[in-house]
Structure 1
Amino acid sequence: MLYMHDLWVNWFEGEENGYNVCRFHEWRKEDGIEIVDQIPLLLVEEQLYESIENDLQDLPMSLLQDVQKRTYMKRNQERHTIEYAAVVTNGHDVIVFDTLGYTLPVKKSRLIPRQERLVFEMVQGKKPATYNMEEQFTKEYHILSLEPEKMSGLTRRERQLKQLLMMALDQLKHSDYPEEIRYWLTEWNPVEYHSIKELTTDEAWERLYQGTSHGWTIHHEELCGKLVKGQPFFETIWQGEHQKAEKHIKSQN
């Protein structure tokens, strides 16, 4: 078995979509970077890699047995054993997982570029290991888990705010005041005001969702800010992202 040593990881917990497991250039100073003493490296087939990167499904038991207690981390000068963790690659991309003792990849991380290149060098010319998956991997996307193309090209901050906007829209759809949907669609697209009045609630919501689910602009951000106003949970996320952005800008100056 191949092993990597002194690995830098930045864990993202409970993320099913790979686009939310941020690559090195999007790591922040406040992220909790950890060093892994030793961890197995697996070259796996494409379907299994996709499942690990973009879902939270149970991992093959044979894979878990192969990596069990083979990862070590140092905390306070003491070496701790990790139950199930590994670096996995399909030969052209890399992700690290830690199951926290469960059977699914609860925590995921990317690697720094130098260590990513080392992965590709280590597996070059090797055949991927075969692990039988109990179920065929078919990823289902929805408003709270958008398709990758709808997040493509967005920064970490923009992805976070877009997810917040989708959460707010989902809540709006199921609210006790469906007439608000036409109001917010008019806020989004005021030039269509007269035709919006003729839409059913479902038609209005679908048009609002389709209009906002692609890309990210200042118009998206303004709508998001208005939608979350007065909702403590959403406002906390909104303010947190803006504070992080301000810190990042100051650190660059």
Structure 2
Amino acid sequence: MLYMHDLWVNWFEGEENGYSVCQFHEWRKEDGIELVDQIPLLLIDDHLFHFIENDLQELPKSLLEDIYRRTYMKKNQERTTIDYAAVVTNGKAVLVFDTLGYSLPVKKSRLIPRQERLVFDMVEGKRPSYYEIDNPVPKEYHILSLSPENMAGLTRRERQLKQLLMMALDQLRHSDHPEEVGYWLTEWDPSQYEFIKELTTESSWQQLYYGTLEGWSKQHEELCGKLIKGQPFFETMWQSENQTDSKHIKSQN
């Protein structure tokens, strides 16, 4: 088995979509970067790699057995053993995961560029290990888990705010004040006011959802900021993204 040493990781916990596991250039100073002392490296096929990267389902038992207690973390000069963690690659992309003792890839991280290149060098010319996925459930995208196409080209901040907007729209759809939907659709597209007056609540909501689904713009941001006003949980998320120091972590290269 191949092993890597002294890896810097930036864990994103509970993320089922790969676009939420940020690449190194999007890491922030306030992220909790950790040092992995030793971790196994697995070359796997494309299907399994994308399954791990873009889902939170049970990992193959044989894979878990192969990596059991082979990872060591270092913190304050103390070395601790991790039950199930590994670096995986399909030869084109790289991901690190830690199951926190479960059988799901609960925590995921990318690598810094220098260590990513090392991964590709280490697996060059080797054959992928094959692990069979037990009873996989087909992946479904929805308003609270948008497809990669709907997040393509967005920055970390824009992705976070777009997820916040979708949470607010989902809440709006199930609110006790359906008349608000038409109001917010008019805010989004005031030129359609006369047309909007004739729409049902559900049709208005569909127009608003599909209208905001593509891309991210100043118009998206303004709608999001207005929609979440007066809702402490959403406002905290909004403030967190807007107060974040955008400076990147100094390059580890």
Report the CA distance between 1:223 and its aligned residue: 0.2
Q: What is the alpha-carbon distance in structure 1 between the residues aligned to residue 248 and residue 100 of structure 2?
A: 35
- Could you tell me which residue of structure 2 aligns to residue 103 of structure 1? 103
Letter in 1 for 2:152: S
Report the CA distance between 1:249 and its aligned residue: 5.8
Report the CA distance between 1:235 and its aligned residue: 0.4
Letter in 2 for 1:16: E
Q: What is the alpha-carbon distance in structure 2 between the residues aligned to residue 146 and residue 137 of structure 1?
A: 17
1:182-205 per-position Cα deviation (integer Å, ceiling 9, x unaligned): 000000000000000111111110
Runs of 4+ in structure 1 over 3 Å off: 249-252
Q: How does 1:46-57 map to 2 (within 5 A)?
A: 46-57=46-57
Structure ranking higher in helix proportion: 1
Letter in 2 for 1:105: P
- Could you tell me which residue of structure 2 aligns to residue 156 of structure 1? 156
Q: Is the 8 A contact 2:164 2:234 kept in 1?
A: yes
Call closer, same or farther: CA 1:99–1:160 in 2, change over 3 Å: same
SS across alignment from 1:37: strand
1:192-249 per-position Cα deviation (integer Å, ceiling 9, x unaligned): 00000111111110110000011000000000000000001000000111110xx226
Report the CA distance between 1:137 and its aligned residue: 5.5
Q: Is the 8 A contact 1:10 1:109 kept in 2?
A: yes
1:50-86 per-position Cα deviation (integer Å, ceiling 9, x unaligned): 1100000010110000000000011221110000000
SS across alignment from 1:248: coil
- Could you tell me which residue of structure 1 aligns to residue 37 of structure 2? 37
TM-score, length of structure 1 as denominator length: 0.96
- Could you tell me which residue of structure 1 aligns to residue 246 of structure 2? 248
Q: What is the alpha-carbon distance in structure 1 between the residues aligned to residue 10 and residue 134 of structure 2?
A: 29
Give me the identity figure in percent.
72
- Could you tell me which residue of structure 2 aligns to residue 7 of structure 1? 7
- Could you tell me which residue of structure 2 aligns to residue 90 of structure 1? 90
Q: Is the 8 A contact 1:51 1:137 kept in 2?
A: no
- Could you tell me which residue of structure 2 aligns to residue 18 of structure 1? 18
- Could you tell me which residue of structure 2 aligns to residue 112 of structure 1? 112
Are 1:68 and 2:71 counterparts? no
Q: What is the alpha-carbon distance in structure 1 between the residues aligned to residue 92 and residue 137 of structure 2?
A: 20
1:115-174 per-position Cα deviation (integer Å, ceiling 9, x unaligned): 111111111111111111112452100000000011000000000000000000000000
Mind listing any 5+ residue stretches in structure 2 that lack a counterpart?
none
Question: Higher relative CO (CA 8 A, sep ≥ 6), structure 1 or 2?
Answer: 2
TM-score, length of structure 2 as denominator length: 0.96
